[in-house]
């Protein structure tokens, strides 16, 4: 079995959250979904588990944080191009999220934007030219 990541997120409106995550490219796994939780598959190894607040609380030893008031984590999502970064941010905004909660970052070899889901969880879709960071700078180490 491959190593997988299951990101468990508390949500206020499960149906609205399912629609949102479908719009950004997830597929609902009905086998692991019910009235308390929705299993939203992002890739073969990453799944967003959307849990109603009351159900999430049965697993959490502390109160549920309000992601609109503080940020406990940023969820970075790799994309294959700058255009895919832009497309997912636009899809998130159209589906009830909030786009560009901070200024987009364009570093040439890396392009990052942000969006919030309807509950305020923050995502950072990013594209990176994997060859650029390791390429020797002109006149630098490795240059002949």
**Nearest CA-CA partner of 99 in 115, 82, 77:** 115
Do 84 and 39 fall within a single domain? no
What CATH number is attached to the domain comprising 38? 3.10.180.10
DSSP 136: P
Do 56 and 6 fall within a single domain? yes
Do 77 and 52 fall within a single domain? no
Domain of 79?
73-131
CB 52 within 8 A of CB 36: yes
Do 56 and 78 fall within a single domain? no
**Nearest CA-CA partner of 47 in 32, 67, 66, 60:** 32
Do 117 and 88 fall within a single domain? yes
| Cα distance between residue 23 and residue 37, in whole Å | 18
pLDDT digit of tens for each residue in the chain (144 aa)?
Answer: 789 999 999 999 999 999 999 999 999 999 999 999 999 999 999 999 999 999 999 999 999 999 989 888 899 999 999 999 999 999 999 999 999 999 999 999 999 999 999 999 999 999 999 887 655 554 444 433
Look at residue 2 in the predicted model and tell me its pLDDT: 86
Domain membership of residue 54 (yes or no) is: yes
Number of structural domains in the chain:
2
């Amino acid at each position: 079995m491959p190593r997988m990541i299951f990101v468990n997120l508390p949500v206020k409106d499960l149906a609205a959250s399912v629609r949102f995550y479908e719009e950004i490219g997830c597929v609902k796994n009905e086998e692991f979904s019910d009235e308390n939780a929705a299993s939203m598959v992002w890739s073969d190894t990453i799944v967003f588990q959307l849990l109603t607040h009351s159900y999430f609380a049965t697993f959490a030893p502390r109160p549920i944080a309000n992601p609109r008031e503080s940020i406990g984590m940023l969820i970075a999502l790799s994309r294959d191009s700058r255009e895919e970064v832009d497309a997912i941010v636009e899809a998130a905004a159209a589906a009830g999220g909030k786009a560009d909660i901070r200024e987009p970052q364009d570093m040439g070899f890396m392009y990052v934007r942000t969006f919030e889901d309807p509950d305020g969880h923050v995502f950072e879709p990013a594209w990176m030219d994997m060859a650029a960071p390791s390429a020797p700078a002109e006149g630098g180490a490795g240059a002949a």
